[in-house]
A and B are shown apart, each in its own frame.
Chain A
Amino acid sequence: MKPRRYLICCFVLFLSIAFSSRAVEAPDYIENHDTLYNNLTVEKRGTVVELRARSRAGEYLESAVDLADPLRLVVPYTRSLFAAAFFEPKPRNVLMIGLGGAGFHRVFMHAFPSARLQSVELDPKVWELCQTKLAFKPTSQTPVAVMDGRLFVKRNREIWDWLILDAFRGGFVPPHLKTQEFYRECAARLSTRGVFVTNLHQDTELFAADLRTIQSVFPHVLLFQTHGRGNVIVCAFKSAASDLARAPDIAALEKSNPKLASKLDLDALAAELLPFPAELAAKARILTDDFSPVEFLDALKTNNTNAR
């Protein structure tokens, strides 16, 4: 190769390396933690801290918080969890199974400052990282119990206005949190107008079995699809009263809770309402404590957020 041509090649190579490194901003830090239940990665990039879990299909974003703006919901499906507000707009007592980085918690406490949000997290390291790396400051209104979610529901006798099930272990949900018996235990702990909320993955065979199982316990089930993410948020009601599972009333929620309306695009949230796939659900088997092959039904093609 002639010297001139060689120099041009080197220059082009230099430019491509320079631009490619600029396109992907280097993280401020990356930490890996082998915990009792997970292999976690905490990555800070600018003001955003991500909590990711490794699973057989790669690394998945479990939670993320913008430290400069903690009220910004970085992970799209956490906005969809607020669909419960359309049906029970004044929750006083809320249980969330699965803490993650507590991105949901900050917006919830901003929108419902007098409510109490109890969380249950199995992995003590997640709880520790949530405080030390994702800057979550628990208060008497946001207590956290480190234990199995099902055990908490069984042993705690409180009644919840919202009961949110968002417990993942690297994209995988433990089978005993997917059964008819567990949903019955959850329904028993809901207030009369309470909402059971859970986060499902749409593109696995488990989805149909989940819907069928939830429908076997809750008379009314509404679905909200987080666009382009494969997440479907279920809002289910134990009461058969027909006025409960009504169409989302955006104007009423804006009026009753302007703080929430200022942080969420309620129109977009209401537009996520998905027709219930009755035919799909009808073909599936109900998951019970006796028969719950969750691992085999869950193809794990996508996770709650960005596959990496």
Chain B
Amino acid sequence: MGFQLLASRLLNPFFGSSLIVWAWLISTFLAAFSLGSIIGGWISNAPARHRQRAQWIVGALAVASLAFTAFFGRAMLGQIEIAFAEITTGLLVACLALFFLPVTTLSSFGPQCVQYLASRGTPPGKASGLIYGVSTLGNIAGVMLTAFVLIPHLPVSTLLYLWLVVALVNLTALNLLLRSSPTNSAP
């Protein structure tokens, strides 16, 4: 969610701050959450060897796409703005190009964490509640920190680099943790 606030700051100079911008941005993030959750569900039920490979690939994709947004986001938006005269089309392309992949890949780790806890004896309902509860609290913290501390004091570009480093460290740690998850049998 904090990333969503940064995304709006990236888009505003190119597409304005109208309701259309927010509608596309929120829809893109929700679509990415949705797809990411489905992919995460598939990965968590894959055989151990395939699952671990998929986790590293998805993690690498998340870091690479975040890096693309951080390093080339503004240049990309400039090109998209020129290429598409229609604002709605331009926004759709911009949101898909810069935000869809990082959010999809990052949100795929939620179901995998649920599976991790469930495979270690936590009842599935409890594991799911715990992961999504903690995830939502993390989102609240991310929004508040971004809105009231980070954006007032740091440039958006710096924050994107910061996001990238945090994602790199966290995903590496998470993948190492998930690696120790017991082997699942494919359904």
Query: Which residues of A line the B interface, CB within 8 A?
Result: 36-37, 122, 147-151, 154-155, 174-176, 179, 181-182, 288-293, 296
Query: Which residues of B line the A interface, CB within 8 A?
Result: 9, 12-13, 15-19, 74, 81, 85, 87, 151-157
Check if A176 sits within 8 Å of B152, measured CB to CB: no
Check if A291 sits within 8 Å of B19, measured CB to CB: no
Residue of A nearest to B154 (CB): A291
Check if B157 sits within 8 Å of A290, measured CB to CB: yes
Can you spell out 5 A-B residue pairs with CB atoms less than 8 angstroms apart? A148-B16, A148-B18, A176-B16, A176-B17, A181-B13
Check if B87 sits within 8 Å of A290, measured CB to CB: no
Q: Which of A155, A179, A288, A291 has the most CB of B within 10 A?
A: A291
A53 to chain B, nearest CB (A): 16
> Chain B residues with Cβ under 8 A from A151's Cβ?
15-16, 87
Known: A151-B87, A175-B9. A288 touches B155 (CB 8 A): yes
Q: Which of B13, B152, B154, B157 has the most CB of A within 10 A?
A: B13
B77 to chain A, nearest CB (A): 10
B36 to chain A, nearest CB (A): 28
Residue of B nearest to A155 (CB): B85
> Chain A residues with Cβ under 8 A from B87's Cβ?
151
> Chain B residues with Cβ under 8 A from A288's Cβ?
155
Residue of A nearest to B82 (CB): A154
A97 to chain B, nearest CB (A): 11
CA distance A292 to B157 in the complex (A): 12
Q: A147-B16, A147-B18, A175-B9 known; 9 other A-B pairs, CB under 8 Å?
A: A149-B16, A150-B16, A151-B16, A154-B81, A176-B16, A181-B13, A289-B74, A291-B156, A293-B151
Check if B156 sits within 8 Å of A290, measured CB to CB: yes
Check if B155 sits within 8 Å of A291, measured CB to CB: yes
Known: A174-B12, A290-B157, A291-B156. A122 touches B18 (CB 8 A): yes
